[in-house]
């Protein structure tokens, strides 16, 4: 180690201290190799195979697979499902964060646990519960059939199932943030004559904007990629009730591998964009918090 | 003392916000979930038991829970190494690997499913090396474990990472200066400190794997009694219009996931409590270390 070439006793002691709380180089590099190999096999390989298989039969097959009418319909339906469920769950997340993060009340931790519930329910069961209510054999089935309303094996069912599986994302991201902000700033705004809405828009929301953005991005990624729950309620009608993941499944089961991976590559790109956005948002949030610390330091 | 439902606050909007939260939660989540139990209650106890204890159902529980347990254990072991390497060491590409850890959260399960199947198929990138060794990965139980390892990968890394970051280096220095060698420090000081977080991550990965569907159906081959996971059995029953059967198995899964949710909450409370104690009382790990000696 460096201690051999640096006889200075101070440095010698320091290097020994370093050695006591770190590992020998061979241990260090073996651990790094194990970690990199594990992540490489489980994360890099799946990503690489998606893009290489998508382009295996050339760009024209790739573009053709995306411009085919059934694929276009699937992309459109995926955008509709995410376009409805993400804003609704965002409004819910903000409301829940205000109620839970800013107030103390009985049953608060129970409420938080209940909000997390959809995360622990299997996607298949998440779809099934709506079939049991709105399906032909379901509780409301006969009534819906009599009024010629279709929810299961139709778009509303797909939207409902998507809403269920993405339900906790924004709320779970925001609640701890809003809670950590405390209530002093809002109280100051109110005392200075701001209305409740003004306080919310100008004080609370700017403080948690990065967390909110992150929650929405995660919510959107899951909404566009959900497979199990949507598969149960969709009925797999080509061109009508197929979302992108369901379209991928059909193509793959028909041995149309290149087109299947072409559609999959769009979702993989979405996943990569999500990860990039996460990294940027985390960096911005850290920047904001150090700035706040600096400002409060100056105020003192 | 008077029972207070809500602490006094000058902030407005509590009633509206809580009302909307509870209403939305009930309509979207609680009422539909209870409909499952309602539907199941139309079965007699004997019918219910007959369905959930059938040969095929039990085989699917064994596979779902067994493969999830193995996958979560793999993730526990490698997750600890990955978290350690990402927090303590520097190497080229570290930031990239760190960001990629969350890929299984972001990549749709169907995409992961077809990608893993293609990789581990007998002529795939990994399959062609494993097949000559007699190891069949795709369309076997091993394939299920691989898919579940992928879906559960981020949990242990992401629960352990912040704990390792918060850990004072002084604790390790203290252990070293008291005569512990590096290995003893790791086993008796560092490991106990990250254990609650690691177990939380393990149970989260396990819970996620038990219900997983999309990434498994492509690679498993879906043979009844052999490679049929419980969520797939529910879908099979639904496709045969056996709603009662699907509901009964769904109730078993729901009860299992509620039990897991409770376990995770208890583990989190435990690890939170340990962290708080660690901050209140300086270097408690050193005390433990000495006691252990």
The per-residue pLDDT for range B29-38, each reduced to its tens digit, is 999 999 889 9
B32 in a structural domain: no
Topology of domain A59-299 in CATH is MetI-like fold (1.10.3720)
Coarse DSSP helix, strand, coil percentages of chain A, rounded to the nearest 5 percent: 80, 0, 20
Q: What is the mean pLDDT of residues A11-40?
A: 78
Q: What is the mean pLDDT of residues A110-137?
A: 92
Round to whole Å and give the CA distance between A52 and A59. 11
DSSP A201: I
A278 touches chain B (CB under 8 A): yes
Residue B8 has a CB neighbour count (10 Å cut-off) of 7
* pLDDT band (50, 70, 90) for residue A295: confident
In this predicted model, what pLDDT tens digit does every residue of A50-104 receive, in sequence order? 999 999 999 999 999 999 999 999 999 999 999 999 999 999 999 999 999 999 9
* CATH code, B119: 1.10.3720.10
Distance of CA A179 to the CA centre of its chain: 21
* pLDDT band (50, 70, 90) for residue B292: very low
For residues B209 and B273, the model is more confident at B209
* pLDDT band (50, 70, 90) for residue A3: very low
* pLDDT band (50, 70, 90) for residue B61: very high
**pLDDT of res. B3:** 52
Check: CB of residue B227 under 8 Å from CB of residue B221.
yes
Domain that holds residue B100: 48-292
User: Which of the residue ranges A4-13, A74-83, B76-85, B89-98 would you say has the lowest mean pLDDT?
Assistant: A4-13
Q: What is the mean pLDDT of residues A114-126?
A: 93
Residue B222 φ then ψ, to 5°: 55, 45
B220 in a structural domain: yes
What is the token pair recorded at B73? 């254990």
* pLDDT band (50, 70, 90) for residue B50: very high
B76 in a structural domain: yes
A252, pLDDT greater than 80: yes
B284, pLDDT greater than 60: no
B81 touches chain A (CB under 8 A): yes
Greatest Cα pair distance, chain A, in angstroms, is 92
Q: How many domains does one find in chain B?
A: 1
Q: Kindly state the percentage of chain B with pLDDT values over 90.
A: 65
**pLDDT of res. B275:** 56
**pLDDT of res. B106:** 93
B233 in a structural domain: yes
Select the residue from A40, A114, A129, A178 to test the B interface by mutation, using most B Cβ atoms within 10 A: A129
Q: Kindly state the percentage of chain A with pLDDT values over 90.
A: 72
Residue B88 has a CB neighbour count (10 Å cut-off) of 15
B191 in a structural domain: yes
Round to whole Å and give the CA distance between A120 and B1. 38
Q: What is the rounded average pLDDT for all residues in chain B?
A: 88
B116, pLDDT greater than 70: yes
In this predicted model, what pLDDT tens digit does every residue of A139-179 receive, in sequence order? 898 999 999 999 999 999 999 999 999 999 999 999 999 99
Q: Which candidate from B18, B28, B150 shows the least CB-CB separation from A99?
A: B18
**pLDDT of res. B7:** 73
Contacts A100 to B, Cβ<8 Å = 21
Domain boundaries, chain A: 1-54, 59-299
B14/A103 Cβ within 8 A:
yes
B17 in a structural domain: no
A11, pLDDT greater than 90: no
Select the residue from A27, A117, A125 to test the B interface by mutation, using most B Cβ atoms within 10 A: A125
């Amino acid at each position: 180690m460096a201690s051999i070439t640096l006889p200075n006793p101070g440095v010698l002691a320091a290097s020994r201290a370093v050695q006591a709380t770190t590992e020998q180089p061979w241990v260090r590099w073996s651990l790094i190799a194990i970690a990199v190999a594990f992540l490489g096999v489980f994360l890099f390989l799946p990503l690489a195979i998606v893009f290489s298989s998508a382009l295996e039969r050339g760009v024209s097959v790739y573009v053709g697979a995306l411009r085919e009418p059934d694929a276009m319909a699937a992309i459109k339906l995926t955008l509709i499902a995410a376009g409805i469920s993400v804003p609704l769950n965002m409004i819910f997340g903000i409301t829940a964060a205000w109620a839970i993060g800013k107030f103390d009340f009985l049953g608060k931790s129970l409420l938080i646990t209940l909000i997390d519930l959809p995360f622990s329910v299997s996607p298949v069961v998440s779809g099934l519960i709506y079939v049991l209510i709105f399906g032909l054999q379901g509780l409301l089935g006969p009534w819906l059939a009599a009024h010629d309303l279709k929810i299961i094996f139709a778009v509303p069912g797909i939207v409902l199932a998507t809403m269920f599986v993405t339900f906790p994302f924004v709320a779970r991201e925001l609640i701890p943030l809003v809670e950590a902000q405390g209530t002093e700033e809002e109280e100051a705004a109110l005392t200075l004559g701001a209305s409740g809405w003004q306080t919310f828009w100008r004080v609370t929301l700017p403080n948690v904007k990065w967390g909110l953005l992150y929650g929405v991005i995660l919510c959107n990624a899951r909404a566009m990629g959900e497979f199990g729950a949507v598969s149960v309620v969709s009925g797999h009608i080509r061109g009508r009730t197929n979302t992108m993941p369901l379209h991928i499944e059909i193509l793959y089961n028909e041995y149309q591998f290149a087109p299947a991976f072409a559609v999959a590559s769009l979702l993989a790109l979405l996943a990569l964009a999500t990860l990039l956005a996460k990294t940027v948002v985390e960096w911005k949030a850290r920047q904001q918090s150090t700035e706040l610390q600096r400002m409060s330091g100056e105020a003192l | 003392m008077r029972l207070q439902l809500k602490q006094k606050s000058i902030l407005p909007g509590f009633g509206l916000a809580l009302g909307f939260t509870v209403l939305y939660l009930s309509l979207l989540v609680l009422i539909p979930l209870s409909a499952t139990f309602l539907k199941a209650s139309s079965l007699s106890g004997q019918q219910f038991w007959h369905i959930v204890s059938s040969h095929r159902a039990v085989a699917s529980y064994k596979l779902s829970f067994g493969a999830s347990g193995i996958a979560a254990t793999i993730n526990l072991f490698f997750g600890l190494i990955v978290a350690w390497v990402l927090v303590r060491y520097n190497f080229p590409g570290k930031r990239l690997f760190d960001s990629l850890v969350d890929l299984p959260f972001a990549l749709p399960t169907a995409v992961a499913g077809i990608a893993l199947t293609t990789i581990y198929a007998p002529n795939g990138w990994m399959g062609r090396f494993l097949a000559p060794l007699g190891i069949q990965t795709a369309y076997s139980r091993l394939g299920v474990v691989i898919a579940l390892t992928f879906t559960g990968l981020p949990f242990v890394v992401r629960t352990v990472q912040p704990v390792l970051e918060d850990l004072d280096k002084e604790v390790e220095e203290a252990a070293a200066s008291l005569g512990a060698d590096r290995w003893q420090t790791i086993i008796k000081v560092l490991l106990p400190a990250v254990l609650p977080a690691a177990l939380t991550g393990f149970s989260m990965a396990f819970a996620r794997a038990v219900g997983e569907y999309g990434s498994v159906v492509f690679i498993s081959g879906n043979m009844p009694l052999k490679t049929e996971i419980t969520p797939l059995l529910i879908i099979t029953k639904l496709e045969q219009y056996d709603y009662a059967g699907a509901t009964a198995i769904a109730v078993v899964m729901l009860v299992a996931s509620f039990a897991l949710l409770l376990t995770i909450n208890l583990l989190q409370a435990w690890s939170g409590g340990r962290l708080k104690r660690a901050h209140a009382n300086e270097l408690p790990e050193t005390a433990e270390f000495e006691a252990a000696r």
